[in-house]
Amino acid sequence: MLTELLRQAVKRVGYLDAAVIMAFVLSRDKTGVMTASDDETLSPEQAARFSELVDQRAAHKPLAYIIGKREFMGLDFEVNEHTLIPRPETEIAAETALDMIEEKNIKTVLDLCTGSGCIAISLYARSIVKPDITASDISLKALETAKRNAARHKAPIAFIRSDMFSDIDPFAYEMIIANPPYIPRGEIAALPRSVRDYEPRAALDGGADGLDFYRIIAEKAVNYIVLEIGCNQAEDVRNILISRRFINIRVINDLSGHNRVITAQKDG
């Protein structure tokens, strides 16, 4: 019964997704599913749950939301409809920030738009310096998720609910890192359904040109910044930073050669 259900699901959602969902339902790893015997059976409840989750995946619900977790920087994070799903590209921002923290012995870090908390928690977990890290988000539900993730990984992160800097003093932080919303509002409708229909719009919508949050950060930040950017936004963000007296601006590419992260330092 297990293998027959799996075969049917593979036709709808592909082998990898079907195997991951089956492993989730059975609380075992993918290897255990792939090596299951042909005569292994599921309980009626397990079979019904598996079919329900396959239906959700076939309707383009992200796999990370179905199983409730996503790996980032080698750590597992709870994710849900209140948090953006961490992407491999964001690891470049986290790794860049880690290098700067170690090189410049940075002691205080603010992670804006923290979502699941994956950046803030990974910075603490992977850093030798162990800076004091604050993470903020406008979404209370996202912060609740981030707090659970911090507790799971024993990361002493301070969490603040704030609409960007409305309740935060930027002068308190030597570094600000952010993966802010950066999709131009008019382009959201053209995103893949798995993103457009399921991930929180507030974590996607960067305003008319996608640059609203970069303007806010450039206006308020006073020291080092590390920002994830859209692949065609480097020049625009650079100009915003220059207009706010940032120097030492550096653009870092992802593995596909696309602009992905920009770093800078406030001049004076």
Per-block average pLDDT, block size 10, for the chain (268 residues)?
86 94 88 69 92 97 98 98 97 98 97 98 96 98 98 98 98 98 98 97 98 98 97 97 98 95 94
Judge if 17 and 102 occupy the same domain. no
Judge if 49 and 89 occupy the same domain. no
> Which CATH number goes with the domain that contains 29?
1.10.8
Does residue 194 fall inside a structural domain? Answer: yes
Both structure tokens of 59: 């309707």
Does residue 179 fall inside a structural domain? Answer: yes
Task: For residues 222 and 103, give the distance between their C-alpha atoms in angstroms, rounded to a whole number.
Answer: 19
Does residue 262 fall inside a structural domain? Answer: yes
Does residue 77 fall inside a structural domain? Answer: no
Judge if 226 and 108 occupy the same domain. yes
Judge if 31 and 153 occupy the same domain. no
Judge if 179 and 259 occupy the same domain. yes
> Which CATH number goes with the domain that contains 96?
3.40.50.150
Specify the residue for token string 């996607």. Answer: 204
Judge if 31 and 86 occupy the same domain. no
Neighbours of 85 (CB within 10 A): 22
Does residue 67 fall inside a structural domain? Answer: no
Residue spans of alpha helices (H) in 118-233: 118-126, 140-152, 193-196, 212-220
Judge if 95 and 39 occupy the same domain. no
User: Please, is 222 exposed, middle or buried when counting C-beta atoms within 10 Å of its C-beta (0-12, 13-18, 19+)?
Assistant: middle
What pLDDT is attached to residue 235? 98
Query: Strand 175-178 to strand 224-228: parallel, antiparallel, or no bridges (unpaired)?
Result: parallel
Helix, strand, or coil (residue 25) = helix
With b meaning 16 or more CB within 10 Å and e meaning fewer, what string describes 67-76? bebbebbebe
Does residue 73 fall inside a structural domain? Answer: no
Judge if 108 and 8 occupy the same domain. no
CA dihedral 56, 65, 67, 70 (to 10 degrees): 150
Judge if 256 and 225 occupy the same domain. yes
What pLDDT is attached to residue 77? 98
Does residue 66 fall inside a structural domain? Answer: no
Judge if 39 and 127 occupy the same domain. no
Judge if 90 and 47 occupy the same domain. no
Total of domains in the chain = 2
Judge if 181 and 50 occupy the same domain. no
In order, the DSSP letters of 105-136 are: T--EEEEES-TTSHHHHHHHHH-SS--EEEEE
What pLDDT is attached to residue 41? 84
Does residue 70 fall inside a structural domain? Answer: no
What pLDDT is attached to residue 1? 67
Segments forming the whole domain that contains residue 134? 82-266
